[in-house]
A and B are shown apart, each in its own frame.
Chain A
Amino acid sequence: MLVLTRKVNQSIMIGDHIKIVVVDVRGDQVKLGIEAPKEISVHREEVYSEIQDENKRAVLTKDLDLKQLDELLKPAKPTEGGTVDKGDKGVNRL
């Protein structure tokens, strides 16, 4: 791993398009500013690992009893053949 020392307001570049600025340092907390093209998604690492963990938990549902689910959800079935009115969501929305 490359380790760099930076002061407040100094930055690093990753490639030509991603800039990370040290905005503030207080005690054990560092505030970072990130400038990146829109198509680059930036998340706290925890978000990813939380989702990975949740997916792993989801897969553990092995012997799901569909009948039991049905019983629980009897009134929940959409009445008209399972269609849901999606409404007007605009052109670029799903």
Chain B
Amino acid sequence: MVKIETTRFGSIEIDPEQIIEFPDGILGFEEYHRYVVVEPPGHIFSFLQSVDEPWLSFVVIMPELLRSDYYVDLEPQLVKELGFEDPKDGKVFAIVTIPEDIAEMTANLQAPIVINLKTKLAKQIVLTDGAYKIRHNVLAELQRNGFLAAKTASK
């Protein structure tokens, strides 16, 4: 185990085997390549935490929770880049943006994070078929998908 510093969780211990490499970085943060996924038990949100920068941390969610029919096509280039041998090794997250009013938080379903859990390689891809947008209201989508009672979502 190695210790890393994080702004959000303080000092945490991670298994170096769990470090995920983004060869291209994440859009807007191209110079940072190493992250870990922190999944607090019992939460629907996970965190993509930079191993190298304590402040660099994304809140992420499984897009299927927002759209049950969500999928990412494994294009040949993506298969090659992330070294996919089996689609079962894949994990997809959407980055969540949380403004001051957390009820207004949105998820980016157009540019999901795709991780190959076996090779530990990952990439933020951009979907171009127009089905998804950069900002989907998380509470509204959860509600539509039956994960949230209707009265809770409207403030």
Contact = CB atoms under 8 A, between A and B. Distances in A.
B95 interface: yes
Given A58-B97, A61-B59, A75-B152, A93 B27 contact: no
B53 to A, nearest CB: 10
B7 A62 contact: yes
A31 B2 CA distance: 53
A89 interface: yes
B147 A78 contact: yes
Contacts of B5: none
A51 B102 contact: no
Contacts, number: 126
B29 A59 contact: yes
List of 4 A-B pairs having minimum Cβ-Cβ separation, nearest first? A52-B28, A39-B77, A94-B90, A55-B28
Contact of A92 (B73, B103, B111, B128): B73
B96 interface: yes
A26 B72 CA distance: 36
B65 interface: yes
B76 A39 contact: yes
Given A54-B95, A59-B29, A64-B59, A93 B147 contact: no
Nearest to A44: B128
Given A54-B95, A74-B152, A84-B65, A69 B76 contact: no
Contacts of A94: 71-72, 74, 87, 90-92, 114
Interface residues of B, number: 54
Nearest to B59: A61
A75 B149 contact: yes
Interface string B30-73: 00000000001011110000000001111100101100110111
A84 B90 CA distance: 15
B76 A93 contact: no
A51 to B, nearest CB: 5
A69 B45 contact: yes
The CB with the most chain B CB atoms within 10 A, among A43, A53, A64, is that of A64
Interface string A57-81: 1110110101011101111111000
